Amino acid sequence: MSIETIDADEVPIEEVLGSAVKRREDPSLITGRAEYTDDIQRPNMLHMAATRSPYGHAKVGDIDTSEAEAMDGVEAVFTAADFDVPGEIPVGWLLESLRTPPHPILASERVRYQGDAVAVVVADSRAVAADAAQAVDVEYEQLDAVTSPGDALAEGAPTLHDEDDGNVAFEWELGDAEKTSAAFEDADEIVDIDLVNQLLISNPMEPRATVAEYDAGSDDLRVHMTSQNPHLHRLLMSGVIDHPEQKLHVRAPDVGGGFGAKIHHYADEALTALCARELERPVKWVATRTEGFQTDAPGRGHETSARMALDADGHITGFEVDTKANLGAYLSTFAPAVPTYLYGTLLSGQYDIPAIHVEVTGAFTNVPPVDAYRGAGRPEASYLVERIVTQAARQIGEDPAEFRRKNFVDSDDFPYQTEVAVEYDSGDYEKTLDAALDAIDYDAFREEQELAREDGKYLGIGLSAYIEACGLAPSELAGQLGAQAGLWESSLVRVHQSGTVTAYVGTSGHGQGHATTFSQIVADELGIPYDDVEIVEGDTDEVPQGMGTYGSRSAAVGGSALVESARKIVEKSREIVAHQLEADAEDVEFDHGTFHVAGAPEQSVGIQEVAGAAYLAHDLPDDMEPGLEATSFYDPDNFVFPFGLHAAIVSVDPDSGEIEVERYVAVDDVGNQINPKIVEGQIHGGVAQGIGQALYEGAQYDENGTLLTGSLQDYTVPKAEQIPELETESTVTPCPHNPLGVKGVGEAGTIAAPQAVVNAVTDALQPFGVDDIEMPLTEERVWRAVEEAK
């Protein structure tokens, strides 16, 4: 059932939080008035293009730039030798065993992936820059390449960095190895699985882009870029290009989607800034889609063997996981965190598992640096857990829904400490299971499936009881785990003298509707009309500090930071009112924008009037500063743990391998919902990307490290006809430890969907004994699986 939107002015203030108000972002986006980075024009602006390696792995000899330099309109050509700056991209997450080979912004002696840049050209038009980049003549000596983590870690594999250490980037483990192996010794049943979680390319519709402007008089460097976290980009870039942080300004204008690809610090953005500083002219760089395929950080890329131990009653008693993770050619910004702390810590799934042990080996390979893509680590964990749980149920002949129910963490057992370091905050897993089974009419489906099989039609149902950890926190813990950044969020709420509000927050939205949801939060906290609240984010000049938007942190961490600032304003206002009404502050009550003395509701003062008084400052309590604004740095107590049950029904034609997703039911619990329509939209979009992974998407390389899926013609970003109608429902289990009770929704669908589909297809093919097909489930793979099982 679809949720209807409503105009904000039809919603009473006390109901604005939780209402499906229309997005205030939309008028500019639907009329062409939005400003994306490539829309920015500056007088005298130059254009940058990069000369990129056509090879996956090669030694670089001479770089001859003379032909490019001689072209009409070319202003400059730069190679690594031309920049006297550190020029190396740092790693933002360290692990004990981590190797950190240099990650230069321009390669000089060796290129390690197709698309690794060796030179940049700056010219007076985009077309001339592109031509000149092609005209840079680079001598390459091609080397053997390796693109999968398993191959990279095998004996005799070509190595990317220091030959003596092979391609091992790190070795990491979590959980209790001894207890887990004991569980397997005592097991009544052991379930084995080998699976690949393929490398994906995130493909936001807007390619990455940068416009940099330099003022030599003030040394100010302004960088407008496709960023999910301008403050982090400011910090990282300031080191990479050696520019003082306070003179570097990073701004994300409208950003056309991110999905993780716009979190990390890349060479291109730093190079654009360097060119602008060097030439003292505005410089623009815009990736083509092909460059995006070659250089945007891909995600996933796991090869895993795992086994699960069961007792005679079908209870899970142990889980052992060995994963090889693809890290690409160099370490991207948060790369080490993704296959370790964002993955291993979720391997308990929704289940009460008494013994878990996971080992992960990170591998360097000749693909672009791998990093977070929507979900980041959590989808890989959820895929593994939900695939092996399905297999376990099959192996002992139990219904997959009942097997899950039996092994769920009980709703009375929260907070629940897992064997893999995290403590789940709140949950009610049976509730989402029941809601999904009801919606799909599970028993009726099983009967229909039987009858269909008799008619030679193969229907299947797949369940996915996913969990995720988002709103990464708290900073101290993140630090202990290796994060080189805090994971708080900052806000400034400023009530103006007239009573309207501007709120600044350190998140940085790129399609999620932050201006709408954050206004709902601030309006609710202060009791000020929604239309009187303005939200500012995505600009390091305007917003005091911030950490950005990724990992579904914006509502839980950014929203909570806004609540904290708003509450400080209410407290200051309460003191002003108490002073003016000659009452004790503790006797002054606040209710949706109005203060009154307890027991005397007739004598009330609105918060917007208080704002006027705070700035007039004619009659304030002794020692109180004038003005009405407050800043907060909110550091969460724990992660938030959204969960849900997604179910897919498919029909499979074993003769052609064709799959039809006939129904897709998503029941999600993301805690309290600030705007249910936006929540629904996030689920839809996430599920579409998850179905994309299950059925269509995957980066493929040949043996030379050449990307075979390097354009939208070869890599299937799903079209409208390829995504089924989605049925969504929610349950609400508030998060107990943040002031909004929210969890996170941005990644849920992407985490949940792949295994729902794969489990459904293998369920459909049970008569053939097919338990396993690798994603994406192309017609050929499905057909082969059936033929091989026959």
Interface positions with other proteins (CB under 8 A): 2, 5, 22-23, 25-27, 29-36, 38-39, 41, 126-127, 203-207, 254-257, 259, 286, 288-290, 510-513, 677-678, 680-682, 684-689, 711-713, 717, 719-721, 723, 725-726, 749
Q: Which is nearer to other proteins, 51 or 148 (CB)?
A: 51
CB atoms within 10 A of CB 244: 10
Give the phi and the psi of residue 422 in degrees, each rounded to 5. -100, 160
Q: Which is nearer to other proteins, 258 or 558 (CB)?
A: 258
- Core vs surface per residue 12-32: b (16+ CB within 10 A) or e: eeeebbebbbebbbeeeeeee
Q: Which is nearer to other proteins, 100 or 290 (CB)?
A: 290
Whose tokens are 């009409």? That residue is 72
Rounded to a whole number of angstroms, the minimum distance from the CB of residue 300 to other proteins is 16
Question: How far is 350 from 370, CA to CA, in rounded Å?
Answer: 27
| Total residue length of the chain | 790
Q: Which is nearer to other proteins, 586 or 725 (CB)?
A: 725
Dihedral (Cα; 537, 538, 543, 544), 10-degree rounding = 130
Q: Do residues 605 and 594 touch, judged by C-beta distance below 8 A?
A: yes
Q: Which is nearer to other proteins, 27 or 479 (CB)?
A: 27
Q: Do residues 738 and 670 touch, judged by C-beta distance below 8 A?
A: no
Question: How far is 195 from 586, CA to CA, in rounded Å?
Answer: 61
Give the burial class of 223: count Cβ atoms within 10 A of its Cβ; 0-12 exposed, 13-18 middle, 19 or more buried.
Answer: buried
Rounded to a whole number of angstroms, the minimum distance from the CB of residue 129 to other proteins is 13
Q: Which is nearer to other proteins, 207 or 400 (CB)?
A: 207
Give the phi and the psi of residue 608 in degrees, each rounded to 5. -70, -30
Rounded to a whole number of angstroms, the minimum distance from the CB of residue 558 to other proteins is 17
Rounded to a whole number of angstroms, the minimum distance from the CB of residue 720 to other proteins is 4
Give the phi and the psi of residue 261 in degrees, each rounded to 5. -65, -20
Q: Name the pairing type of β-strands 588-591 and 283-286.
A: unpaired
Rounded to a whole number of angstroms, the minimum distance from the CB of residue 125 to other proteins is 9
Rounded to a whole number of angstroms, the minimum distance from the CB of residue 8 to other proteins is 12
Rounded to a whole number of angstroms, the minimum distance from the CB of residue 276 to other proteins is 19
Rounded to a whole number of angstroms, the minimum distance from the CB of residue 517 to other proteins is 12
Q: Which is nearer to other proteins, 216 or 720 (CB)?
A: 720
The DSSP output letter for 787 is H
Q: Which is nearer to other proteins, 328 or 685 (CB)?
A: 685
Rounded to a whole number of angstroms, the minimum distance from the CB of residue 130 to other proteins is 10
> Which residues sit opposite 594 in a β-bridge?
591, 606
The token pair at 619 is 């009659």
Rounded to a whole number of angstroms, the minimum distance from the CB of residue 725 to other proteins is 7
Q: Which is nearer to other proteins, 506 or 692 (CB)?
A: 692
Instruction: Give yes or no for a cis peptide into 754 (omega within 30° of 0).
Output: no
Residue among 300, 301, 345 nearest 470 (CA): 345
Q: Which is nearer to other proteins, 22 or 592 (CB)?
A: 22
Q: Which is nearer to other proteins, 175 or 692 (CB)?
A: 692
Q: Which is nearer to other proteins, 512 or 762 (CB)?
A: 512
Question: How far is 286 from 590, CA to CA, in rounded Å?
Answer: 50
Q: Which is nearer to other proteins, 487 or 760 (CB)?
A: 760
Rounded to a whole number of angstroms, the minimum distance from the CB of residue 679 to other proteins is 10
Question: How far is 147 from 645, CA to CA, in rounded Å?
Answer: 34
Rounded to a whole number of angstroms, the minimum distance from the CB of residue 460 to other proteins is 22
Rounded to a whole number of angstroms, the minimum distance from the CB of residue 169 to other proteins is 29
Rounded to a whole number of angstroms, the minimum distance from the CB of residue 204 to other proteins is 6
Q: Which is nearer to other proteins, 368 or 749 (CB)?
A: 749
Sheet of strand 248-251: strand arrangement: 74-79, 117-123, 46-52, 283-286, 209-215, 220-225, 248-251
Q: Cα–Cα distances in Å, from 60 out to 80, 501, 584, 709?
A: 12, 56, 76, 25
The token pair at 745 is 């929704």
Start-end of H helices in 26-125:
26-31, 66-69
Q: Which is nearer to other proteins, 125 or 305 (CB)?
A: 125
Q: Cα–Cα distances in Å, from 734 out to 82, 425, 667, 673, 728?
A: 55, 9, 15, 9, 19
Q: Name the pairing type of β-strands 600-606 and 594-597.
A: antiparallel
Q: Do residues 744 and 470 touch, judged by C-beta distance below 8 A?
A: yes
Q: Which is nearer to other proteins, 614 or 753 (CB)?
A: 753
HSE toward the beta carbon, residue 99, CA cutoff 13 A: 20
Q: Which is nearer to other proteins, 255 or 566 (CB)?
A: 255
Say how far residue 584 (Cα) sits from the centre of its chain: 47
Rounded to a whole number of angstroms, the minimum distance from the CB of residue 153 to other proteins is 32
Rounded to a whole number of angstroms, the minimum distance from the CB of residue 41 to other proteins is 7
Question: How far is 613 from 230, CA to CA, in rounded Å?
Answer: 35
Rounded to a whole number of angstroms, the minimum distance from the CB of residue 688 to other proteins is 3
Rounded to a whole number of angstroms, the minimum distance from the CB of residue 717 to other proteins is 5
Question: How far is 582 from 563, CA to CA, in rounded Å?
Answer: 28
Q: CA angle, 303 as apex, 298 and 306 as ends, to 5°?
A: 140
Q: Which is nearer to other proteins, 437 or 678 (CB)?
A: 678
What is the full DSSP assignment across 157-176?
A: ---SS-GGGTTEEEEEEEE-
Question: How far is 385 from 349, CA to CA, in rounded Å?
Answer: 6
Question: How far is 68 from 132, CA to CA, in rounded Å?
Answer: 5
Give the burial class of 33: count Cβ atoms within 10 A of its Cβ; 0-12 exposed, 13-18 middle, 19 or more buried.
Answer: exposed
DSSP, collapsed to helix, strand or coil, labels residue 403 as helix
Q: Do residues 458 and 763 touch, judged by C-beta distance below 8 A?
A: no
